[in-house]
């Protein structure tokens, strides 16, 4: 689960950095693809519109990173639970 959490954070960081570097060329197709792998990325539109302080950007980015990390860890835990239950069920027959 730690690996899944870190992978989720890495995916979110990569998506946010790419978005910040190429915001002008960001197309709707890339937005949809990014939202599929990183649903908390939707918060980046609120961050992009507000350039008041560095604290707001750090707070928004850390929220995106943690939310995607927890999302990936939760999905990994759910998959592990399903496979564990199926393995126990198959072993009892």
Compute, in degrees rounded to 10, the torsion defined by CA atoms 8, 20, 35, 7.
-10
Distances (CA, A) of 12 to 42, 46, 61, 82: 11, 16, 9, 26
Contacts for 6 with CB less than 8 Å, ≥ 6 apart: 69
pTM for this structure?
0.79
Cβ burial of 35 (10 Å; 0-12, 13-18, 19+) is middle
pLDDT score at 16: 83
What residues make up the domain containing 20?
A: 2-92
Range from 20-34, 49-63, 65-79 that averages highest in pLDDT: 65-79
Note the Cα 54 to chain centre separation in Å: 21
Residue-level pLDDT at 80: 95
- The predicted-structure confidence for 8-53, as pLDDT tens digits, reads as follows 999 999 988 888 787 667 778 788 888 888 898 888 777 766 666 7
- Total domains in the chain come to 1
């Amino acid at each position: 689960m730690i690996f899944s959490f870190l992978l989720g954070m890495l995916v979110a960081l990569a998506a946010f950095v790419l978005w910040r570097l190429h915001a002008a060329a960001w197309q709707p197709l890339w937005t949809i693809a990014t939202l599929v792998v990183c649903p908390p990325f939707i918060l980046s539109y609120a961050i992009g519109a507000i350039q008041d302080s560095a604290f707001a950007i750090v707070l928004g980015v850390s929220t995106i990173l943690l939310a995607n990390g927890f999302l990936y860890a939760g999905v990994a835990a759910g998959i592990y639970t399903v496979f564990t239950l199926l393995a126990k069920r198959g072993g009892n027959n």
